[in-house]
Amino acid sequence: MSATAEFNYDNSCRPKDNSCRARGNSRGKKVIATRHTSRLVQANYLCFGLQPVWFHATNILLHAAACILFTRVCLSIAGLKPPFATLAGLLFAAHPIHTEAVTGIVGRADVLACVFFLVSLLAYHGHPDGKCHIWISVTLGGLSMLAKETGVSVFLLNLAYDFYRHWPAVKKLALLQGSLPKFSQQDNPTAFHPSLYVR
């Protein structure tokens, strides 16, 4: 169980201070923590000291939040019925691909990026009344990108989903060969009026 595990080589220096942000990890690669991810690790250290259980518990709580948000995305954006959305959320929670991100403290960047990614997606598409909070979504997408570089894909996903949702309008514009329809004076006489105020 990850909550009772000790710090491993990759995690050993991260909570104490920021001195190891560019230190090599066990594979010889550079470990560079993002500012708000390392701030969260430092907050863990200030609250609980160097007790590994609290660092792991924070990762588990972040993963639980990501699972709940994923279930919400399945309900509101994908349009799944509640039993299927719950099943998808449980599969997301128990999938073995999340093991390293949840059990290792350095994996907090992945989990944090996932949380910001899903909240950004919900802010852009997930309102039942159809409201779109673009700037909130952009801000959360930026935070996701700051946690992990792959967070930039939320912007591409938002655009792709918008394109998919508005496909009939895009198809209609494609049928017009990319140009707007041309109207004659009989179709729209006010558009041809000599006065700019009437037009």
* pLDDT tens readout for residues 29-39: 444 445 556 67
Mean per-residue pLDDT over the chain, rounded: 77
Question: 15 in a domain, yes or no?
Answer: yes
Question: 52 in a domain, yes or no?
Answer: yes
Q: In sequence order, what are the beta bridge partners of 30?
A: 24
Structure tokens at 180: 């707007």
pLDDT at residue 171 tops 50: yes
Q: Of the ranges 5-9, 37-41, 67-71, which is most confident?
A: 67-71
Q: 89 falls in which pLDDT band (50, 70, 90)?
A: very high
User: Which residue would you say has higher pLDDT here, 132 or 29?
Assistant: 132
CB atoms within 10 A of CB 26: 9
Q: 155 falls in which pLDDT band (50, 70, 90)?
A: very high
| pLDDT value, residue 152 | 92
Question: 198 in a domain, yes or no?
Answer: no
Q: Out of 30-34, 87-91, 167-171, which region has the weakest mean confidence (pLDDT)? A: 30-34
CA distances from 58 to 3, 7, 34, 120, 136 (A): 9, 14, 17, 21, 25
pTM (predicted TM-score)? 0.68
Q: In sequence order, what are the beta bridge partners of 24?
A: 30
**Burial of 112 per CB tally in 10 Å (0-12, 13-18, 19+):** buried
Q: 188 falls in which pLDDT band (50, 70, 90)?
A: confident
Question: 197 in a domain, yes or no?
Answer: no
Q: 142 falls in which pLDDT band (50, 70, 90)?
A: very high
| pLDDT value, residue 100 | 82
Question: 95 in a domain, yes or no?
Answer: yes
- Parent domain of 39: 2-192
Q: 11 falls in which pLDDT band (50, 70, 90)?
A: low
Number of domains, the chain: 1
Q: 172 falls in which pLDDT band (50, 70, 90)?
A: low
Question: 135 in a domain, yes or no?
Answer: yes
13, 14, 17, 23 alpha-carbon torsion, rounded to 10°:
70
Closest to 73 (Cα-Cα) out of 114, 101, 110: 114
Structure tokens at 155: 């912007």
Q: 25 falls in which pLDDT band (50, 70, 90)?
A: very low
Q: Out of 24-38, 159-173, 178-192, which region has the weakest mean confidence (pLDDT)? A: 24-38
